Amino acid sequence: MGTFNCIGVLTSGGDAPGMNAAIRAVTRAAISKGIRVKGIFRGYKGLVTNEISELYSDSVSNIIQRGGTILKTARCAEFMTPEGRQVAYDNMVKEGIEALVVIGGDGSLTGARIFAQEFNVPCIGLPGTIDNDLFGTDTTIGYDTALNTIVEAIDKIRDTATSHERLFFIEVMGRDAGFLALNGAIAGGAEAAIIPEYITEEDQLEEFIKRGFRKSKNSSIVLVAESKSKGGALDIVERMKKDFPGYDARVSILGHLQRGGSPTAHDRIIASRMGAAAVDALLEDQRNVMIGIVRDEIVYVPFTRAIKNDKQVKPELIDMLRQLCI
């Protein structure tokens, strides 16, 4: 059994609803086991610039229902350098912080992995990202909330799509992972999803058009995952105008509203369970693992597996979407 007097917690990278619930759980689980907790502000930046303050039980009151993160989040270029990480480590030691809980996406967990190795610091990661792209957990903190936000938006856009008998391309987040686009399409009753894991965007568009859009319907909605290399939904509509003239196609880019809002019950529950599990993991001498939940059980996933392995969307869901939208 490991013993700790004081641990640090930070949120890093893109914010996600449920991060506050995770901060609350880490703080209260630690305090209930006699461990002090220090909150590090603005992700790794706060470690480098020493923006750190102690969290008490009442510091995390009334936040479980709030989106965003009370600790703020940032991207920190200094932490990408050995010199920056040395400053971060020195500050950590000065503050008496003996272990870190890092809540963030694959970039943040990559940083934690490197830091843990360099300075032999126990680091536990929590998957905090709306994209659901970390391997070894069924879902990530924030994904369910973002998905529900997308579905609400689809329902609203469908009203206007139906009234005007239009084709809408709705762009959602997830430049490397199509979970939000594919499952958003299924839950919103959309006609197709154009996602990064599946053949090229051009081919997916062509396939959708060839399936005979509008033969039996008076409107259509296609979800598009934002594109890493191209222009996303705007680019697709430009191409449509050129290659398939005659369609009244519109674009709606949901953007940052997908990150905000009060977390769903699901996200609050997994954030609470994962936050408490992070403290248990430290006490069990686990280090350099991400906490995941698989089939409703807490699991420990080595950082290298969580980050490096691509979590695959299920190809059968693409086929099922096709069957259900005839």
Q: Which amino acids are annotated catalytic?
A: 131
Cβ closer to ligand ADP: 111 or 122? 111
Residue 87 near ligand ADP by CB under 6 A: no
Q: Select from 18, 67, 111, 125 the one that contacts ligand ADP (CB under 6 A).
A: 111
Contact yes or no for 187/147 (Cβ under 8 A): yes
Q: For residue 159, what are the contacts with CB-CB under 8 A and spacing of at least 6?
A: none
Interface map 171-210 toward ligand ADP (x if CB under 6 A):
----------------------------------------
Q: Select from 4, 9, 12, 39 the one that contacts ligand ADP (CB under 6 A).
A: 12
Distance CA 180, CA 189 (A): 14
DSSP state of 197: T
Residue 91 near ligand ADP by CB under 6 A: no
Q: Select from 31, 63, 80, 317 the one that contacts ligand ADP (CB under 6 A).
A: 80
Cβ closer to ligand ADP: 46 or 184? 46
Cβ closer to ligand ADP: 14 or 275? 14
Q: Which of residues 217-276 bind ligand ADP (CB under 6 A)?
A: none
- As a whole number of Å, the CA-based R_g of the chain is 21
Q: For residue 214, what are the contacts with CB-CB under 8 A and spacing of at least 6?
A: 167, 220
Residue 303 near ligand ADP by CB under 6 A: no
169: number of CA atoms within 13 Å, CB side? Answer: 26
Q: Which residues pair with 7 in a beta bridge?
A: 37, 99
Helices (H), the chain: 19-32, 44-49, 82-94, 106-119, 143-164, 179-188, 201-210, 232-243, 265-283, 303-308, 315-324
Q: Which of residues 25-64 bind ligand ADP (CB under 6 A)?
A: 44
Nearest residue relative to ligand ADP (C-beta): 107
Cβ closer to ligand ADP: 113 or 287? 113
Cβ closer to ligand ADP: 20 or 110? 110
Distance CA 24, CA 19 (A): 9
Q: Select from 11, 20, 27, 110 the one that contacts ligand ADP (CB under 6 A).
A: 110
Cβ at position 12, least distance to ligand ADP in Å: 5
Q: Select from 6, 31, 107, 260 the one that contacts ligand ADP (CB under 6 A).
A: 107
Distance CA 160, CA 53 (A): 49
3-state secondary structure of 167: strand
Q: Where do contacts with ligand ADP occur on this chain (CB under 6 A)?
A: 12-14, 44, 75-76, 79-80, 104-108, 110-111, 114, 129
